[in-house]
Amino acid sequence: MSSEEIGPLNEYQIAAQTGAAFRVKKGQTIRVVDVEGEQVADLVCFARQDTKEYLSSGRSIDYNEKLNLSTGDILYSNRSNPMLAITRDEVGKHDFLFAPCSQEMFRLTYNTTGPHPNCLDNLAHSLITFGIRNHQIPTAFNIFMNVTITADGRVSVKTPLSTAGDFIDLRSEMDLIVGVSACSAGRCNNFNCTPIRVEIYRKDISG
C-alpha cells in the first residue's frame, strides 16, 4: 500500500485568513490543498538545524532559470541548498516574486486604515513557536497565486487557476520548519478568502 493510500501523517486545517507552522522531516511530502478553489497559500520554510537558512526566491529563480516553477523544479535556500522539490502540481501557476501581504501593504494598496489579517502576521504568529521572528520571513512561495507579467515588466494579480481540491506536492529535501498562510488579500483570491489544508505524507508519493 502506498503512503498516499495509507493517508497523511499529519493534517493542518488553516481557516481563511489564518496561518500555521509545523516541522517536516527530510523526505516527507507536504501537500497544499486549495479546499474551495481560487485561494492563495503563502509558504515559507527554514532549516531545522539553523533557521538562518531560509527559502530564497532569488536563488530558486536563478538556478531554475525561470519564474514559473512547477513539477520537477527545486526550491533553494539562501545558502544554495535544495529545500523543497515540486513532485506534483495540478495547477502549474504560482508566484515567487511578491512578498507576503502585510498591514503596510493593505494601507498602501487598499487604503485600509484599521488592522487587517495578513500573511506576514499570520506567518510570524505561527513561526514564533519555533523562535522565528517577523523580520526573518522571506519572500514566500505563493502557491496558486496567479501573476501575469507583460513584455515591459508590469505585473498584475489575476484570479488563481486552482479549483476546489487542487493541490501541489512538495518533497522536503532537508528537515524543515514550514509556515503556511491562507492569504487574506482580496485581489489575490478573487475577493473571497477561503481555507487551505496541508497534509504531510511519510515519504515521497510522486509517481
| Binding residues vs Zn ion (CB under 5 A) | 101, 119, 183, 185
Smallest distance, Å, CB 6 to Zn ion? Answer: 33
- In terms of phi and psi (left: phi > 0; alpha: psi -120 to 50; beta: otherwise), the region of 40 is beta
Nearer to Zn ion, 71 or 112 (CB): 112
Nearer to Zn ion, 39 or 87 (CB): 39
* Exposed / middle / buried, residue 135 (Cβ in 10 Å: 0-12, 13-18, 19+): exposed
Nearer to Zn ion, 75 or 101 (CB): 101
Which amino acid, one-letter code, is at 38? E
CB 112 within 8 A of CB 102: no
Nearer to Zn ion, 85 or 196 (CB): 196
Smallest distance, Å, CB 28 to Zn ion? Answer: 25
Q: Give the three cell numbers for residue 23.
A: 516541522
Smallest distance, Å, CB 83 to Zn ion? Answer: 21
Strands 41-47 and 141-143, sheet pairing:
antiparallel
Smallest distance, Å, CB 160 to Zn ion? Answer: 12
Smallest distance, Å, CB 63 to Zn ion? Answer: 25
Nearer to Zn ion, 132 or 140 (CB): 140
